[in-house]
A and B are shown apart, each in its own frame.
Chain A
């Protein structure tokens, strides 16, 4: 059974940092581009970042570029999102996604940026 399980969310103060993890299982993780998509509770979806299967290519939304870093450890079947200089507007549920190519989403982890 395929699974994507996010962790690492929580409450963080503005300007702080947080690292999200996504443990993948049930499929050949290294074969797929992986994405992070976020959603403010009750609002719409926003694509955040993606990384190629071998980790060689990464791209970001302008609003997070320079603050967020996507990475992966294919030996551990794990995707990461390192978030720094967090702002209130980064508050959202963050989904780990194998997007479009055998599309599959995790259940998400909530990040709350507040003092």
Chain B
């Protein structure tokens, strides 16, 4: 199985400041068939199911604010929130869909400082 490791486990950021979450996979998730990374990011708020933010490592879903961006390739990925808003308080998960079983990172809790 591909192991997904996120860092940090939690972070506190001031409103309007940048938040950066890292995700590392135990093997490359870059597909040779389409040259895209099979990596997605989800946001989960308390009491709610996860919400998909980004697919293919950097493609933002429709309706997701442009302060959210994804980057990286191969085994190292980053989710950046460029200017943290109060409504961004949540747990964020990366997931790979390159291999079965699809696997998630352990989650990163983002709070307001």
Contact = CB atoms under 8 A, between A and B. Distances in A.
Interface in B24-49: 40, 42, 44, 49
A103 B42 CA distance: 10
Interface residues of B, number: 21
Interface of A: 44-47, 50, 59-62, 95, 99-100, 103, 105-108
Nearest to B56: A100
B74 interface: no
A59 to B, nearest CB: 5
Interface string B70-100: 0000000000000000000000010101001
A47 B49 contact: no
Given A106-B49, A107-B49, A45 B55 contact: no
A47 B93 contact: no
B103 interface: yes
Nearest to B52: A103
A69 B42 CA distance: 26
A7 to B, nearest CB: 15
Contacts of A108: 49
